[in-house]
Structure 1
Amino acid sequence: MPESRHFTVINEPFVCIVCHTQVAPLRTGCRNHCPVCLHSVHVDRFPGDRQSDCGGLLVPKEIVQDGKKGFMIVHRCKSCGEIRTNKAALDDPEQPDQMDAILEVMKNRSLHIRGRRG
Protein backbone atom coordinates (compact mmCIF):
# COMPACT_ATOMS: atom_id res chain seq x y z
CA MET A 1 0.00 0.00 0.00
CA PRO A 2 1.53 3.39 -0.97
CA GLU A 3 2.36 5.84 1.79
CA SER A 4 0.17 8.91 2.01
CA ARG A 5 1.74 12.32 1.87
CA HIS A 6 1.06 14.25 5.00
CA PHE A 7 2.35 17.35 6.69
CA THR A 8 3.73 17.14 10.21
CA VAL A 9 3.81 20.50 11.93
CA ILE A 10 7.26 21.07 13.43
CA ASN A 11 8.10 24.75 13.69
CA GLU A 12 11.27 25.01 15.75
CA PRO A 13 14.13 27.53 15.71
CA PHE A 14 17.44 26.37 14.22
CA VAL A 15 20.87 27.64 13.23
CA CYS A 16 21.69 27.60 9.51
CA ILE A 17 24.61 25.27 8.78
CA VAL A 18 25.68 27.44 5.82
CA CYS A 19 25.57 31.07 7.03
CA HIS A 20 25.04 30.44 10.79
CA THR A 21 21.93 32.64 10.98
CA GLN A 22 19.72 32.08 14.04
CA VAL A 23 16.44 31.17 12.35
CA ALA A 24 13.20 31.81 14.22
CA PRO A 25 10.02 29.77 13.75
CA LEU A 26 7.48 31.15 11.29
CA ARG A 27 4.51 33.03 12.69
CA THR A 28 2.24 31.12 10.29
CA GLY A 29 3.24 27.77 8.80
CA CYS A 30 6.55 25.96 9.26
CA ARG A 31 9.99 27.07 8.13
CA ASN A 32 12.41 24.53 6.70
CA HIS A 33 15.06 26.81 5.19
CA CYS A 34 17.24 29.75 6.14
CA PRO A 35 15.66 33.13 5.32
CA VAL A 36 19.08 34.64 4.56
CA CYS A 37 20.77 32.08 2.27
CA LEU A 38 17.72 29.85 1.52
CA HIS A 39 19.62 26.60 2.22
CA SER A 40 18.08 23.72 4.13
CA VAL A 41 18.97 20.24 5.37
CA HIS A 42 17.44 17.02 4.02
CA VAL A 43 15.82 15.70 7.19
CA ASP A 44 12.28 14.88 5.98
CA ARG A 45 10.80 12.12 3.84
CA PHE A 46 7.47 13.95 3.94
CA PRO A 47 7.16 17.57 5.12
CA GLY A 48 7.96 17.83 8.81
CA ASP A 49 8.32 14.12 9.59
CA ARG A 50 12.10 14.21 10.31
CA GLN A 51 12.33 10.63 8.98
CA SER A 52 15.05 11.01 6.33
CA ASP A 53 18.43 9.50 7.10
CA CYS A 54 20.11 11.55 4.34
CA GLY A 55 21.05 14.73 6.20
CA GLY A 56 22.49 16.30 3.04
CA LEU A 57 22.56 19.99 2.25
CA LEU A 58 19.51 21.19 0.29
CA VAL A 59 20.77 23.88 -2.09
CA PRO A 60 18.35 26.43 -3.59
CA LYS A 61 18.48 25.84 -7.36
CA GLU A 62 15.43 27.60 -8.75
CA ILE A 63 12.52 29.85 -7.81
CA VAL A 64 9.17 29.05 -9.40
CA GLN A 65 5.90 30.93 -9.20
CA ASP A 66 2.83 29.03 -7.99
CA GLY A 67 -0.55 30.66 -8.64
CA LYS A 68 -1.81 29.92 -5.12
CA LYS A 69 1.33 29.70 -2.99
CA GLY A 70 3.49 32.43 -4.55
CA PHE A 71 7.25 31.98 -4.84
CA MET A 72 8.45 28.42 -4.29
CA ILE A 73 12.09 27.53 -3.61
CA VAL A 74 13.27 24.42 -5.44
CA HIS A 75 16.08 22.69 -3.53
CA ARG A 76 18.34 19.86 -4.67
CA CYS A 77 20.09 17.67 -2.13
CA LYS A 78 23.88 17.62 -2.57
CA SER A 79 24.06 14.11 -1.10
CA CYS A 80 21.26 12.15 -2.76
CA GLY A 81 20.05 14.47 -5.54
CA GLU A 82 16.43 14.55 -4.34
CA ILE A 83 14.43 17.62 -5.36
CA ARG A 84 12.32 19.41 -2.72
CA THR A 85 10.06 22.45 -3.07
CA ASN A 86 9.07 24.81 -0.26
CA LYS A 87 7.08 28.03 -0.11
CA ALA A 88 9.10 31.20 0.34
CA ALA A 89 8.23 33.04 3.54
CA LEU A 90 8.31 36.59 2.21
CA ASP A 91 5.43 37.76 4.37
CA ASP A 92 6.71 36.61 7.77
CA PRO A 93 6.67 39.73 9.99
CA GLU A 94 9.56 38.59 12.22
CA GLN A 95 12.12 37.11 9.81
CA PRO A 96 11.00 37.11 6.16
CA ASP A 97 12.98 35.34 3.45
CA GLN A 98 15.37 37.85 1.93
CA MET A 99 14.21 39.05 -1.49
CA ASP A 100 17.87 39.60 -2.44
CA ALA A 101 18.51 35.87 -1.92
CA ILE A 102 15.41 34.96 -3.97
CA LEU A 103 16.55 37.25 -6.80
CA GLU A 104 20.09 35.83 -6.67
CA VAL A 105 18.78 32.26 -7.14
CA MET A 106 16.61 33.48 -10.03
CA LYS A 107 19.59 35.26 -11.61
CA ASN A 108 21.90 32.26 -11.23
CA ARG A 109 19.27 29.96 -12.77
CA SER A 110 18.85 32.35 -15.69
CA LEU A 111 22.62 32.53 -16.27
CA HIS A 112 22.86 28.73 -16.08
CA ILE A 113 20.12 28.28 -18.70
CA ARG A 114 21.62 30.90 -21.04
CA GLY A 115 25.06 29.28 -20.65
CA ARG A 116 23.71 25.88 -21.76
CA ARG A 117 22.09 27.29 -24.88
CA GLY A 118 25.06 29.37 -26.00
Structure 2
Amino acid sequence: MAKKFQRRVENFPCQHCGALVVGNGYTNHCPRCLWSKHVDTYPGDRAASCGGMMEPVLLEGPSPNYRILHKCTICGAERVNKVQAEDSTEALLNLANNPHAPLGKSFNVVTGEEFDPLKVERSYENPDADIGDMESNLRKKR
Protein backbone atom coordinates (compact mmCIF):
# COMPACT_ATOMS: atom_id res chain seq x y z
CA MET A 1 0.00 0.00 0.00
CA ALA A 2 1.42 3.40 -0.99
CA LYS A 3 1.86 6.18 1.53
CA LYS A 4 -0.82 8.86 1.41
CA PHE A 5 1.65 11.63 2.33
CA GLN A 6 5.18 12.09 1.08
CA ARG A 7 7.21 15.01 2.37
CA ARG A 8 9.18 16.70 -0.42
CA VAL A 9 11.40 19.71 0.18
CA GLU A 10 11.29 21.51 -3.18
CA ASN A 11 11.74 25.10 -4.28
CA PHE A 12 9.70 26.17 -7.30
CA PRO A 13 8.83 29.24 -9.36
CA CYS A 14 5.16 30.18 -9.09
CA GLN A 15 3.61 29.72 -12.50
CA HIS A 16 0.96 32.31 -11.69
CA CYS A 17 2.90 35.32 -10.32
CA GLY A 18 6.53 34.30 -10.95
CA ALA A 19 7.69 34.43 -7.31
CA LEU A 20 10.41 31.98 -6.27
CA VAL A 21 8.84 29.79 -3.58
CA VAL A 22 11.18 28.22 -1.03
CA GLY A 23 9.65 24.91 0.03
CA ASN A 24 9.81 23.34 3.48
CA GLY A 25 8.39 19.90 2.67
CA TYR A 26 4.81 20.97 3.34
CA THR A 27 4.62 23.89 0.89
CA ASN A 28 1.92 23.40 -1.72
CA HIS A 29 1.05 26.92 -2.79
CA CYS A 30 2.70 30.27 -3.46
CA PRO A 31 2.71 32.43 -0.32
CA ARG A 32 2.53 35.60 -2.44
CA CYS A 33 -0.51 34.91 -4.66
CA LEU A 34 -1.85 31.69 -2.99
CA TRP A 35 -2.07 29.80 -6.31
CA SER A 36 -0.99 26.16 -6.50
CA LYS A 37 -0.47 23.53 -9.19
CA HIS A 38 -2.36 20.25 -9.59
CA VAL A 39 0.56 17.82 -9.38
CA ASP A 40 -0.45 15.51 -6.48
CA THR A 41 -3.12 12.88 -5.98
CA TYR A 42 -2.00 12.60 -2.35
CA PRO A 43 0.27 15.29 -0.85
CA GLY A 44 3.80 14.92 -2.20
CA ASP A 45 3.23 11.95 -4.52
CA ARG A 46 3.42 13.94 -7.80
CA ALA A 47 1.01 11.39 -9.29
CA ALA A 48 -1.62 13.75 -10.76
CA SER A 49 -1.37 13.86 -14.54
CA CYS A 50 -3.46 17.03 -14.91
CA GLY A 51 -0.82 19.68 -14.16
CA GLY A 52 -3.41 22.47 -14.18
CA MET A 53 -3.21 25.62 -12.10
CA MET A 54 -5.13 25.51 -8.81
CA GLU A 55 -6.93 28.80 -8.18
CA PRO A 56 -7.52 29.89 -4.59
CA VAL A 57 -11.30 30.23 -4.53
CA LEU A 58 -12.31 30.41 -0.87
CA LEU A 59 -10.87 31.07 2.58
CA GLU A 60 -12.70 29.26 5.35
CA GLY A 61 -12.44 28.07 8.92
CA PRO A 62 -12.06 29.74 12.29
CA SER A 63 -8.89 31.50 13.41
CA PRO A 64 -6.16 30.31 13.63
CA ASN A 65 -7.18 27.32 11.48
CA TYR A 66 -7.94 29.10 8.21
CA ARG A 67 -7.84 26.96 5.09
CA ILE A 68 -7.73 27.76 1.40
CA LEU A 69 -9.94 25.88 -1.04
CA HIS A 70 -8.10 25.50 -4.37
CA LYS A 71 -9.90 24.52 -7.58
CA CYS A 72 -8.10 23.22 -10.67
CA THR A 73 -8.67 25.44 -13.70
CA ILE A 74 -8.43 22.41 -16.02
CA CYS A 75 -10.17 19.41 -14.43
CA GLY A 76 -12.11 21.09 -11.60
CA ALA A 77 -10.54 19.02 -8.78
CA GLU A 78 -10.79 20.73 -5.39
CA ARG A 79 -8.30 20.55 -2.51
CA VAL A 80 -8.26 22.17 0.93
CA ASN A 81 -4.91 23.43 2.21
CA LYS A 82 -3.89 25.01 5.50
CA VAL A 83 -2.92 28.68 5.56
CA GLN A 84 0.81 28.98 6.33
CA ALA A 85 2.51 31.64 8.47
CA GLU A 86 4.40 32.94 5.44
CA ASP A 87 1.24 33.46 3.34
CA SER A 88 0.60 37.07 2.31
CA THR A 89 -1.85 38.75 4.67
CA GLU A 90 -2.93 41.00 1.80
CA ALA A 91 -3.66 38.02 -0.47
CA LEU A 92 -5.56 36.22 2.32
CA LEU A 93 -7.69 39.27 3.09
CA ASN A 94 -8.39 39.78 -0.61
CA LEU A 95 -9.53 36.15 -0.90
CA ALA A 96 -11.69 36.46 2.25
CA ASN A 97 -13.35 39.61 0.94
CA ASN A 98 -13.67 38.42 -2.68
CA PRO A 99 -14.18 34.65 -2.76
CA HIS A 100 -14.14 33.10 -6.23
CA ALA A 101 -16.00 29.93 -5.33
CA PRO A 102 -18.77 29.29 -7.83
CA LEU A 103 -22.27 28.93 -6.49
CA GLY A 104 -23.46 25.42 -7.07
CA LYS A 105 -22.39 21.88 -6.41
CA SER A 106 -18.99 20.18 -6.52
CA PHE A 107 -18.54 16.82 -8.17
CA ASN A 108 -15.85 14.17 -7.91
CA VAL A 109 -14.28 14.16 -11.39
CA VAL A 110 -13.61 10.40 -11.18
CA THR A 111 -16.94 9.08 -9.85
CA GLY A 112 -19.24 11.93 -10.84
CA GLU A 113 -20.72 11.93 -7.33
CA GLU A 114 -21.65 15.19 -5.62
CA PHE A 115 -19.57 16.12 -2.56
CA ASP A 116 -18.72 18.97 -0.21
CA PRO A 117 -14.91 19.36 -0.14
CA LEU A 118 -15.04 21.33 3.10
CA LYS A 119 -17.41 19.04 5.01
CA VAL A 120 -14.90 16.20 5.14
CA GLU A 121 -12.29 18.54 6.59
CA ARG A 122 -14.55 20.26 9.11
CA SER A 123 -13.48 19.16 12.58
CA TYR A 124 -13.29 22.37 14.54
CA GLU A 125 -15.18 23.18 17.71
CA ASN A 126 -16.95 26.06 15.99
CA PRO A 127 -17.34 25.24 12.27
CA ASP A 128 -19.70 28.16 11.70
CA ALA A 129 -17.31 30.80 13.08
CA ASP A 130 -17.67 34.27 11.62
CA ILE A 131 -14.62 35.43 9.67
CA GLY A 132 -15.49 39.07 10.25
CA ASP A 133 -12.55 39.54 12.59
CA MET A 134 -10.16 37.79 10.21
CA GLU A 135 -8.00 40.84 9.55
CA SER A 136 -7.13 41.35 13.21
CA ASN A 137 -6.53 37.62 13.72
CA LEU A 138 -4.24 37.39 10.70
CA ARG A 139 -2.28 40.45 11.78
CA LYS A 140 -1.87 39.03 15.33
CA LYS A 141 -0.47 35.84 13.83
CA ARG A 142 2.39 37.74 12.19
Same fold (TM over 0.5): yes
Return the alpha-carbon distance in structure 2 between the equivalents of residues 4 and 70 of structure 1.
28
**Residue identity matched to 2:36:** S
| TM-score (structure 2 length as normaliser) | 0.65
Tell me the percent identity. Answer: 36
**Residue identity matched to 1:62:** L
Runs of 4+ displaced beyond 6 Å: none
Point out where structure 1 has 5 or more consecutive residues left out of the alignment.
Answer: 91-95, 114-118
Q: 2:67 aligns with which of 53, 69, 72?
A: 72
Structure 1 residues 56, 71: CA separation in 2 closer, same or farther (over 3 Å shift)?
same
Return the alpha-carbon distance in structure 2 between the equivalents of residues 64 and 17 of structure 1.
24
Query: What is the match of residue 27 of structure 2?
Result: 31
Query: What is the match of residue 50 of structure 1?
Result: 46
Return the alpha-carbon distance in structure 1 between the equivalents of residues 28 and 14 of structure 2.
10
Query: What is the match of residue 19 of structure 1?
Result: 17
More strand by share: 1
More helix by share: 1
Say how many residue pairs are matched. Answer: 102
- Tell me by how many angstroms 1:11 deviates: 2.1
Point out where structure 2 has 5 or more consecutive residues left out of the alignment.
Answer: 104-142
RMSD: 2.2
Q: 2:99 aligns with which of 94, 99, 109?
A: 109
What are the superposed Cα offsets for residues 81-110 of structure 1, whole Å, 9 maximum, x if unpaired?
A: 0101111112xxxxx100110111111128
Q: 1:87 aligns with which of 50, 61, 82?
A: 82
- Tell me by how many angstroms 1:30 deviates: 0.7
